[in-house]
Structure 1
Amino acid sequence: MALLMWTWADPAPVHELIRLVEPAQPDWHQLEEQFPDCPVTTELKLWVCEIEQKIWLLHQGENKHWWLSSIDMNKPTTQPPPINIGLKPFGYGTQQGYQYWLFIEPVGRVAMRRQLEFRLSQLKRQRLSVNSSHELIHLPALNSLLSLYNYSQWTVLIWLKHQQDKR
C-alpha cells in the first residue's frame, strides 16, 4: 500500500496530523493506482479517501509539508462557505491561492447535484466536466469551482474559491 511504503513523522499530539517525511511529495500516480476509488483533486493536490471506515485527508500545509489526518466528523468548521448550501463542511483550509471547504455526504452524486442546483439556482454556473465518478462546476459570480466525486457510499464535494476574491 502506497501510504505504508512512505516514511511518516510521529503524529503531533497537538493537532493529530502525521507529516510525510519520505518522499518529500506524495506520489499521486501511486495513490491513484492503490486507491482507484479515491479522488485526487488536481487543482489543489488534495486527496480524500475512506479507509477502514475513516475519512482520511492528505494535503499540503502552509509550511510546504504534506500532512495526513483523519477527519473528525464532530469538530465544527468555523469558516462558512460563500453561500449556505444546506450541507455541513467537515474541513476548511487555504492552499495555493484558494480557500477550500470539504463536504462528505452519504448520498449519491445526483442527489447532491440536485441540492446544489436548488441552493445555487440564482447563480450562473457551467458544468466543465462529467464522467462516471467526477463532476466539475464553475461558479463565475463566486469565483469558485465545485468538484464532486463519487466513491464507496460517499459523495465528496470540494468547494474551491480563489482567495483574491473577497465577496
Structure 2
Amino acid sequence: MIRLEGVTKAYRTTVGDHVVLDRIDADFPEAVSIGVLGRNGAGKSTLLRILGGAEQPDAGKVTRSGRVSWPIGFAGGFNSSLTGEENCRFVARIYDADLDEVIESTRAFADIGAYFRMPVRTYSSGMRARLAFGLSMAIDFDTYLVDEVTAVGDT
C-alpha cells in the first residue's frame, strides 16, 4: 500500500515554478493494477519517482508499506563496466535476494547468450532493455512501478 497525503511537487523553470503535483491525496492498495494516464509533461513520471522514493515531494507525506520497485525496465542504473551477471549480483545483494535465483531468472529472460558475461557497455539498447526488465522481474517486490514500457527487445 502506498498513501499520498497532500503531496505537492514543483520544478523551477526560467519563467517561474511549474507545479506538477498539487496537494494530491491518493491510496494505491495492494493486489490491484492502477494506470495513470496523462499528456506529456503532466507529471506521470514524477509521480512514479515519488511513489518509489527516488524523489521527495516539496510538501505532503508519502507512506509506503512493503517493498516498492524502481521503475520496471529502467536500465540507467547499470554499471556499464560490469557484466550483466555482475550487475544482477550487485542488485540482488542490495535487495537481499537469492543470488542464484536472480541471476538465473534474469539470464533466462534476457536471452542474450554469452553477452550476459560481457560488460554491459557492449550491449545493444534492446539487450540492455531485456536485461533491465528481466532483473526487475527477478526481484520480489510488493509493488511494481512501470513507466512507459511498451516493448522489450529489438524488432
Greater RCO, CA 8 A, separation 6+: 2
**TM-score calculated relative to the size of structure 2:** 0.29
- Kindly name which structure, 1 or 2, has the bigger radius of gyration based on alpha carbons: 2
TM-score normalized with structure 1 length: 0.27
